[in-house]
């Protein structure tokens, strides 16, 4: 059972959730709620936005201001919320298809603007809700219902994409490091700018059944065995890093003014 303070953030009346038993998404939701508790956030002033997919059902279970938008569009909705009321804490949760395929344009532009939103990308390398189709993060060679002979598309590295597009805090963990998930989300929410926390999770139901990782524990062990902290990864060769998941704080740039603050300066300058 989650702690009492975490339970207060839950809409327990809508349980059981829709996620499969053993799904990694619950670990991420729990880490997010612990982070919100640790930061003593006010549910009246907190917004959790999402797109469409398994991951995007997360906000529905959280007792705060929640916004379940359209596929890929959550960051654009969240941008409107944040700019309209910069006092709100805005967290955006997306899946890998949501964020990097249909919502890719919104993602890179939210990074570029450096708007004060914490984006959590729940990356399970597959479209789970629709039955296991290949996503932009499906590893080459992996099988999916729309890649029955193995995926041939080179995948996106979500964190590299975010850094390249101008996000000012970028970090990664896997669901095998729940405390790190909590701490990184906490830092992401505290960061005064656009933060991206990629959390590598699994879909044993859809990805696992086609890729010999059918049991949740196999996925957990895979993440545990293949995660490498950034400090260590920095001294490893590209050959040694093949197949590894680099975790920890990957990038931080301070001193960039947050978007709504920049707009606030315009208002101060031109309003009478």
Partner 1 sequence: MPKAEFWQGNKAIAMGGIAAGCRFFGGYPITPSTEVAEVMAEELPKLGGKFIQMEDEIGGIAAVIGASIAGKKVMTGTSGPGFSLKQELLGFAYMAEIPLVCVDVQRGGPSTGLPTKVSQGDVFQARWGTHGDHATIAYAPSSVQECYNLTVKAFNMAERFRQPVLMMADEVIGHMRERIETPDRSSIKVVDRKKPTCAPKDFVPYLADESDDIPPMAAFGDGYHWHVTGLTTNDWGFPTNDSHDIDKKITRLLRKVDRYRSDIVEYEAESYEDAEVLVVSYGCVSRSALRAVRELRKEGVKVGHFRPITLWPFADAELEKIVADYKIKRVIVPELNMGQMFLEIDRAIHGKADVVSRTLLNGELFKPAQIAAYIKEVA
Rule CB under 8 A: which residues touch partner 1? Answer: 14, 43-45, 47, 49, 59-60, 63-70, 73, 76-85, 87-88, 105-106, 108-109, 263, 266-267, 270-272
∠ CA 46-52-54, rounded to 5°: 90
> Least separation, in Å, of the C-beta of 45 and partner 1?
6
Residue nearer to partner 1 on the CB measure, 26 or 72: 72
> Least separation, in Å, of the C-beta of 79 and partner 1?
5
Residue nearer to partner 1 on the CB measure, 71 or 232: 71
∠ CA 200-237-161, rounded to 5°: 40
> Least separation, in Å, of the C-beta of 234 and partner 1?
33
Q: In residues, how long is the chain?
A: 272
In the chain, what's the furthest Cα-to-Cα distance? Answer: 65
* R_g of the chain, CA atoms, integer Å: 18
Q: What is the DSSP letter of 157?
A: -
Residue nearer to partner 1 on the CB measure, 43 or 139: 43
> Least separation, in Å, of the C-beta of 95 and partner 1?
16
Residue nearer to partner 1 on the CB measure, 69 or 195: 69
Residue nearer to partner 1 on the CB measure, 154 or 272: 272
Phi/psi for 236 (5° steps) reads -100, 155
d(CA 219, CA 25): 13
> Least separation, in Å, of the C-beta of 239 and partner 1?
37
d(CA 50, CA 48): 7
Residue nearer to partner 1 on the CB measure, 148 or 272: 272
Q: At what angle do helices 74-84 and 104-113 cross, to 10 degrees?
A: 30
- Residue 17 · residue 57 · CB < 8 Å: yes
- Residue 8 · residue 63 · CB < 8 Å: yes
> Least separation, in Å, of the C-beta of 6 and partner 1?
16
């Amino acid at each position: 059972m989650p702690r009492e303070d975490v339970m207060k953030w839950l809409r327990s009346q809508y349980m059981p959730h829709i996620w499969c038993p053993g799904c990694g998404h619950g670990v991420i939701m729990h880490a997010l709620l612990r982070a919100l508790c640790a930061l003593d956030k006010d549910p009246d002033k907190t917004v959790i936005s999402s797109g469409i997919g398994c991951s995007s059902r997360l906000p529905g279970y959280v007792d705060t201001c929640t916004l379940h938008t359209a596929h890929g569009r959550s960051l654009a909705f969240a941008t409107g919320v944040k700019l309209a009321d910069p006092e709100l804490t805005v967290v955006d949760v997306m899946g890998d298809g949501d964020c990097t395929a249909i919502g890719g344009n919104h993602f890179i532009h939210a990074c570029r603007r450096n708007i004060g939103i914490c984006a959590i990308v729940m990356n399970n390398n597959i479209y789970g809700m629709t039955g296991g189709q290949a996503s932009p993060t499906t590893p080459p060679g992996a099988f999916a219902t729309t890649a029955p002979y193995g995926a041939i598309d080179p995948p996106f590295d979500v964190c590299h994409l975010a850094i390249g597009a101008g996000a000012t805090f970028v970090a990664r963990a896997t669901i095998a490091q729940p405390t790190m998930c909590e701490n990184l989300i906490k830092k992401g929410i505290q960061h005064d700018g656009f933060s991206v926390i990629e959390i590598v999770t699994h879909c044993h139901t859809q990805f696992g059944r086609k890729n010999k990782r059918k049991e949740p524990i196999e996925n957990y062990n895979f993440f545990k065995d293949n995660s490498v902290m950034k400090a260590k990864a920095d001294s490893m060769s590209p050959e040694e890093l093949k197949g590894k998941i680099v975790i920890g704080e990957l990038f931080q740039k301070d001193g960039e003014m947050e978007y709504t603050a920049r707009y606030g300066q315009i208002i101060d300058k031109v309003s009478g």
